[in-house]
């Protein structure tokens, strides 16, 4: 297993629509192992493959004492509405309230390629939706009003004007976010 650098806002891969995994083989399992390790080191509650530069439909979640991988996930039920603060490992130190369905049922494959369904509410439901958004090239900022988004983007640009690349090595010192 190895830690992989995390792509930050501005990296084109974060805006890519990730492709379906056709077979959960050893290469995909290696990716999953690395993603769990990287998410843990970065103290995240979720991580999508394109956040480590791989545009394939794989995401890991660790929320409410449930730790799982989703390969080719899709939401098959969604209901209710809740607002809560979100952050993102690809947009460090930027947080905002996001409104999402409060309960979802997701269908995905696990690391053995076995199809499963999972029902989730609260933080877990939020993390699942946040990660699936990533696979579609969507960031939590996209759920905000135009004004709020522009304000946060301006803050981001101010704080990152000296960045030389679009990735950062995981240090394990960041706050817990998705
Ligand atoms: Zn994220």
Whole-structure pTM value: 0.93
pLDDT of residue 167: 85
Q: What's the gap in Å between 23 CA and the centre of ligand 1?
A: 25
**Residue 19: Cβ within 10 Å count:** 11
Q: Which residue has the tokens 């990287």?
A: 38
Q: What's the gap in Å between 47 CA and the centre of ligand 1?
A: 6
Bridge-based pairing of strands 96-100 and 82-86 is antiparallel
State both tokens at 59.
């995401």
The answer for 38, left when phi > 0, alpha when psi is -120 to 50, beta otherwise, is alpha
Those residues of the chain that have pLDDT short of 70 are 171-178
DSSP 8-state code for residue 175: P
Catalytic residue among 27, 37, 77, 131: 131
Q: What's the gap in Å between 67 CA and the centre of ligand 1?
A: 16
131 is catalytic: yes
**Interval 3-53: pLDDT, tens:** 999 999 999 999 999 999 999 999 999 999 999 999 999 999 999 999 999
Q: How far apart are the first and last CA of the chain?
A: 21
pLDDT of residue 109: 98
Rounded CA gap, 77 and 67, in Å?
20
Q: What's the gap in Å between 142 CA and the centre of ligand 1?
A: 12
């Amino acid at each position: 297993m190895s830690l992989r650098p995390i792509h930050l806002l501005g990296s084109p891969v974060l805006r890519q629509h990730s492709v379906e995994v056709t077979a959960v083989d050893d290469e995909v399992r290696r990716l999953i192992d690395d993603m769990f390790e990287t998410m843990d080191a970065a103290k995240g509650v979720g991580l999508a493959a394109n956040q480590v530069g791989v545009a394939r439909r794989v995401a890991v979640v660790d929320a409410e004492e449930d730790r799982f991988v989703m390969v080719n996930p899709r939401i098959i039920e969604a209901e209710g509405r809740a607002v809560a603060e979100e952050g993102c490992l690809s947009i460090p130190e930027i947080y905002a309230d996001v409104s999402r369905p409060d309960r979802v049922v997701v269908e995905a494959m696990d690391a053995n390629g076995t199809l499963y369904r999972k029902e989730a509410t609260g933080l877990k439901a939020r993390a699942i939706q946040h990660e699936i958004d990533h696979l579609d090239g969507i960031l939590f900022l996209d759920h905000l009003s135009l004004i709020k988004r522009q304000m946060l983007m301006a803050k981001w640009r101010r704080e990152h004007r000296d960045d030389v690349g679009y990735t950062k090595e995981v240090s394990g010192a960041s706050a817990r976010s998705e």
